[in-house]
């Protein structure tokens, strides 16, 4: 299929689809954006006019049932990811689905089962982008013994955080009916960390909604069931422990993110400063402290979600960022965190 036109349908065309996926597809050879389904015909038409999409509909099943469409990009909120992905795969379409994978692990497993029913179709979740530049370097340092055995992964994330604002409206991320068990951006960061040290074995979490109520679009006061401040501890399958804190209501945090890997022989730190720039530091036993690590350009990763998806369809590579098996693992962890917060118990992952 390398020289054939790949016909793509878009279901949902929000910010990430407009800023990343559509330009990413258009940057590939022999791609045609044939149809877009959005919440209204009017909003879909704006996308069509801006990017040259041929047709517009307000019914996503029009995309799924269109036999001329080869692949579907799903850019909706999580509550529709499972039904749309399963329908598209069973209709013979390749699927690129926006993160987070699903509302919960049960839905994620249904999506994985659909992909296995249709093994000739590519199934991919949009990857967590934050650490892509550094992943190969971090994995290489750990593999080469730079930190020895892992003692603890210690992460604090406050990107986009500020003092509580009690007047902010309800966002879909605040609504469990739309977002499911996903909490803030914790799943994205866990996916990054899982690349370096593997999945968690246990979870014990506490969280709170510091802003307890918000007003919806109708001015109704709604209680917040999803935490805006969260702390997680647990054991890792490969050994060592995890301590992970994420907050959207912490003011004057010194950086957006600090992720430490403390080992028996050394320490790594991936830091995101207040401007959003990332830097990797390392220091071993006997060093005076941490020093910046220069990333070899040949090992530096980057955003290539749409390129990877198209190349996988054309048989040129396998999906790695992110396959459905990995997606199920981070949804297992997401479910465990949610259960632990709500029930006040420690949870062992599957």
C-beta of residue 6 within 8 angstroms of C-beta of residue 71: yes
* Residue among 78, 76, 75, 329 nearest 180 (CA): 78
Instruction: Determine whether 231 is exposed, middle or buried from the number of CB atoms within 10 Å of its CB (0-12, 13-18, 19+).
Output: middle
Entry field: residues in the chain: 350
Tell the CATH superfamily of the 6-126+304-320 domain: NAD(P)-binding Rossmann-like Domain (3.40.50.720)
Would the pLDDT of 79 be above 60?
yes
Q: Which of 293, 298, 256 is nearest to 277 (CA)?
A: 256
pLDDT at residue 239 in the model: 96
Q: Give the integer Cα–Cα distance in Å for 72 and 88.
A: 7
Check: CB of residue 307 under 8 Å from CB of residue 31.
Answer: no
- Distance separating alpha carbons of residues 302 and 136, to the nearest angstrom: 11
User: Tell me, what's the pLDDT at 216?
Assistant: 87
pLDDT in tens, 226-243: 999 999 999 999 999 999
Domain positions in the chain: 6-126+304-320, 135-302
Hunting for tokens 């997680």 — which residue is that?
232
In tens, the pLDDT along 7-17 reads 999 999 888 99
Question: Average pLDDT, stretch 75-88?
Answer: 97
Q: Which CATH architecture has domain 135-302?
A: 2-Layer Sandwich (3.30)
DSSP string for 7-43:
EEEEE---HHIIIIIHHHHHTSTTEEEEEEE-SSHHH
Residue 2, pLDDT score: 61
- The pLDDT > 90 percentage for the chain reads 95
Q: Cis link prior to 15 (omega < 30° from 0)?
A: no
pLDDT confidence of residue 51: 94
pLDDT digits (tens, 9 = 90+) for 288-335: 999 999 999 999 999 999 999 999 999 999 999 999 999 999 999 999
Alpha helices in the chain (DSSP H): 15-16, 22-26, 41-51, 60-65, 81-90, 105-117, 135-143, 176-179, 186-197, 305-313, 324-343
DSSP 129-180: -TTTTTHHHHHHHHHTTSS-SEEEEEEEE-TT--S--TTPPP-GGG-HHHHT
Model confidence at 345: pLDDT above 60: yes
Q: Mean of the per-residue pLDDT values for the chain?
A: 96
Residue 1 confidence (pLDDT): 57
The predicted-structure confidence for 103-144, as pLDDT tens digits, reads as follows 999 999 999 999 999 999 999 999 999 999 999 999 999 999
């Amino acid at each position: 299929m390398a020289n054939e036109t790949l016909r793509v349908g878009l279901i949902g065309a929000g910010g990430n689809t407009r800023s990343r996926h559509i330009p990413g597809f258009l940057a590939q050879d022999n791609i045609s954006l044939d149809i877009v389904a959005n919440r209204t015909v009017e909003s879909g038409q704006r996308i069509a006019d801006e990017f040259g999409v041929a047709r517009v509909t307000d019914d996503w099943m029009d995309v799924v049932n269109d036999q001329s469409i080869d692949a579907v990009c799903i850019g909706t909120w999580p509550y529709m990811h499972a039904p749309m992905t399963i329908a598209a795969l069973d209709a013979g379409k390749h699927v690129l689905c926006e993160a987070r994978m699903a509302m919960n692990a049960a839905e994620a497993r249904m999506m994985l089962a659909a992909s296995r029913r249709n093994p000739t179709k590519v199934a991919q979740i949009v990857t967590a982008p934050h650490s892509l530049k550094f992943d190969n370097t971090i994995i290489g340092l750990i593999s080469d013994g730079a930190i020895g055995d892992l003692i603890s992964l210690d992460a604090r994330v406050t990107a986009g955080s500020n003092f509580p604002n009690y007047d902010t409206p309800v966002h879909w991320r605040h609504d469990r009916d739309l977002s499911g068990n996903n909490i803030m951006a914790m799943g994205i960061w866990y996916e990054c960390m899982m690349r370096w040290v593997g999945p968690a074995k246990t979870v014990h979490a506490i969280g709170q909604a510091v802003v307890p109520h918000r007003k919806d679009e109708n001015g109704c006061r709604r209680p917040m069931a999803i935490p805006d401040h969260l702390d997680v501890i647990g054991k890792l399958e490969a050994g060592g422990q995890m301590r992970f804190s994420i907050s959207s209501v912490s003011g004057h945090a010194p950086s957006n993110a600090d992720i430490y890997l403390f080992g028996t022989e050394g320490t790594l730190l991936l830091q995101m400063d207040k401007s959003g720039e990332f830097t990797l530091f390392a220091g071993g036993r006997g060093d005076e402290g941490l020093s910046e690590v220069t990333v070899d350009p040949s090992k530096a990763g980057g955003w290539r979600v749409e390129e990877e998806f198209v190349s996988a369809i054309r048989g040129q590579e396998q999906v790695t960022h992110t396959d459905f098996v990995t997606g199920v693992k981070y949804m297992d962890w997401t479910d465990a965190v949610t259960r632990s917060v709500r029930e006040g118990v420690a949870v062992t992952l599957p």
